[in-house]
A and B are shown apart, each in its own frame.
Chain A
Amino acid sequence: MDLRKLPLFDMMTRRLSWLGARQQVLAQNIANSDTPGYKPRDLKPLDFRAMAAGELAKLGPAVTSPMHMAGFTPGDAPARAEKDRHPLETTLSGNAVALEEQLMKANQTATDYELTTNLYHKHLQMIRDALGRGGG
């Protein structure tokens, strides 16, 4: 069974990869917190509602034979990091990274990651329960 064919699992996988990408961007901001002229970046927020709506509206060609090519599915493009247009503070050197803000975002990302992996685990557990353990 391909778990990614279930919309919920697909959405959670995408959320996890988005959170991973965001962690990378935040690490970049914190590493460059003393680089002159560096402006912090962040990813565009992932809208779960829009994602769910898009999931229903997603239309792809049906694959009825293994010889068919899988259709293009939109929404798999990697998230792009954008410069923060309204930084909290800018130092004399032109650096606009506020360490506290970045650490808070990183913390939130880690918590969201935990939440999503827990949800994933629970749903997997539910499927396993439905499959049964073969005890009779």
Chain B
Amino acid sequence: MDITKAMEISASGMYAQGQRVKVIAENIANADSTADKPGGDPYRRQVITFKSLIDRAAGIEKVGVKRVSRDSVTPFGKKYEPGSPAADGEGYVKTANVNAVIEMMDMREAQRSYEANLNLIAMSKSMIQRAIDLLR
């Protein structure tokens, strides 16, 4: 039935957005992770990308995680902290390339998409209920 397939698709969307929130949470949690030896690289933020997955058996197009990669474009920050074990010869420590504002914005977007999928499941459910009510 088409409507149950619609619910399946929306569920795949919710799962994908959940994975996205997980990655964002990892980024925020590691915002202050630095290296443990002098001059080493700190935590590099992760980026998630989605792709559509075609389910030929059911004839539907779901959504899934394509890959979680590392952001090598955004540069690391720099902080003067000579006492840190990660400090280089001049006393500077490289900090993770995590920007709290960007992560928060991404989180909001994930939440918005999650809610849209959730709404659609509720809508599909009420449509099925309508069809069942024809029996009365």
Contacts and interface: CB of A to CB of B under 8 A. Distances in A.
Interface of A: 16-17, 19-21, 23-24, 26-28, 30-36, 38, 99, 102-103, 106-107, 109-110, 113-114, 117, 120-121, 124
Contacts of B50: 32, 34-36
B60 interface: yes
- Residue among A19, A21, A106, A121 with max Cβ neighbours from chain B (10 Å): A106
Given A20-B127, A24-B9, A32-B63, A103 B116 contact: yes
Interface of B: 1-3, 5-7, 9-10, 12-13, 16-17, 20, 49-52, 60-63, 109, 112-113, 116-117, 119-120, 123-124, 126-127, 130-131, 133-134
Chain A interface, >50% SS class:
helix
Given A106-B123, A124-B134, A30 B3 contact: no
Contact of A120 (B13, B63, B117, B134): B134
Chain B interface, >50% SS class:
helix
A110 B126 contact: yes
A110 B127 contact: yes
A33 B6 contact: no
